[in-house]
């Protein structure tokens, strides 16, 4: 009987990282265009986004990223000139320079009400604002190989810390299989690869961190108590693809903690 050969987790992680990097570079290079200039009236603005109504009545959504030249305050009703570049998403541009042409008028009482942008523009704006929150919670499910396990868990995302692309992502997972059960507490950090805009539709990341694992193995499952679990310390390495709407897919391997699954495929959502 031929044995099933499972590829090395290091090889699988390397292939995933290279594929994600190639995809990101192709997408980024295909979206690069010369800067474009337009004038209009600010409808709304925040630290991350700005909605401008151009002279022809169209609404345009801009994101800010470093380096960007912009005034400290952009009140609704301000006339501006915006120099921008394309992003990987139609209808969203990255503002590189914002110049105030005429400040919003406040001398003659309250400013007149401005027409709101279309709902689809507001939805994307809210997605971008949610994506940059400094603290978020999420859930995850997945499967492990060698041994075969089903898992679910919860996680938190805090940051950025130390670097504008580094996030602390502690998580807890609960795995169940035919012969193996374990509880894992993972103190992981993730680094967002700068292959796409920080406010883009997707981003790739690499991460690592120690894991505290409590493992139970055996055929008799009639009376499993926490005292029956053995403790193992491990170290996790992972790579993944995260979308701005909150969903992500991740591939993870664990070192030095047999019988923690050699390879895990995880799907999740961050609120």
CA atoms within a 13 Å half-sphere pointing along the CA-CB vector of 179: 10
**What is the structure's pLDDT at 129?**
87
**What is the structure's pLDDT at 10?**
58
Tens digits of per-residue pLDDT, 121-168? 999 999 888 888 889 999 999 999 988 999 999 999 998 898 889 999
Question: 10 Å Cβ neighbour count for 116?
Answer: 12
The correct CATH number of 37-131 out of 2.40.50.140, 3.30.479.30, 2.40.170.20, 1.20.120.1630 is 2.40.50.140
Per-domain boundaries in the chain: 9-27+133-218+228-270, 37-131
3-state DSSP assignment of residue 224 = coil
Listed in sequence order, the residues at least 6 apart from 93 whose beta carbon sits closer than 8 Å to its beta carbon are 36, 60, 61, 62, 63, 84, 85, 86, 87
**What is the structure's pLDDT at 268?**
97
**What is the structure's pLDDT at 11?**
55
**What is the structure's pLDDT at 226?**
59
Kindly report the CATH class assigned to 9-27+133-218+228-270.
mainly beta
CA dihedral 63, 65, 67, 70 (to 10 degrees): 40
**What is the structure's pLDDT at 195?**
83
Report the C-alpha gap between 266 and 151 in whole angstroms.
8
Q: Is the pTM of this model over 0.85?
A: no
**What is the structure's pLDDT at 107?**
59
Regions of the chain with pLDDT less than 50: 1-5, 23-34
């Amino acid at each position: 009987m031929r044995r099933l050969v499972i590829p090395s987790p290091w090889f699988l992680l390397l292939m995933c990282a290279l594929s994600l990097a190639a995809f990101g570079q192709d997408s980024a290079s295909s979206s690069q265009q010369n800067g474009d200039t337009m004038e209009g009236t600010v409808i709304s603005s925040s630290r991350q986004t700005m909605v401008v109504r151009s002279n022809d009545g169209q609404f345009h959504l801009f994101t800010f990223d470093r380096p960007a030249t912009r005034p400290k305050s952009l009140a609704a009703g301000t006339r501006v000139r915006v120099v921008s570049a394309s992003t990987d998403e139609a209808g969203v541009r990255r503002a590189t320079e914002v110049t105030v042409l005429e400040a919003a008028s406040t001398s003659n009482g309250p400013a007149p009400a401005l027409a709101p942008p279309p709902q689809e523009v507001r939805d994307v704006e809210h997605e971008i604002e949610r994506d940059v929150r400094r603290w978020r919670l999420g859930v995850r499910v997945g499967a492990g190989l060698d041994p075969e396990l089903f898992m679910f868990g919860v996680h938190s995302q805090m940051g950025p810390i130390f670097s504008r692309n580094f996030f602390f992502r502690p998580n807890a997972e609960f795995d169940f299989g035919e012969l193996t059960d374990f509880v894992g507490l993972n103190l992981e950090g993730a680094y967002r690869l700068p292959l796409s805009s920080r406010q883009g539709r997707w981003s790739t990341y690499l991460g690592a961190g120690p894991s505290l694992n409590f493992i139970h193995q055996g055929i008799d499952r009639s009376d499993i108590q926490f005292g029956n679990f053995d403790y193992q310390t491990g170290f996790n390495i992972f790579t993944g693809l995260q979308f701005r709407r909150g969903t992500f897919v991740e591939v993870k391997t664990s070192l030095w903690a047999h019988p923690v699954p050699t390879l895990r495929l995880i799907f999740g959502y961050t609120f």
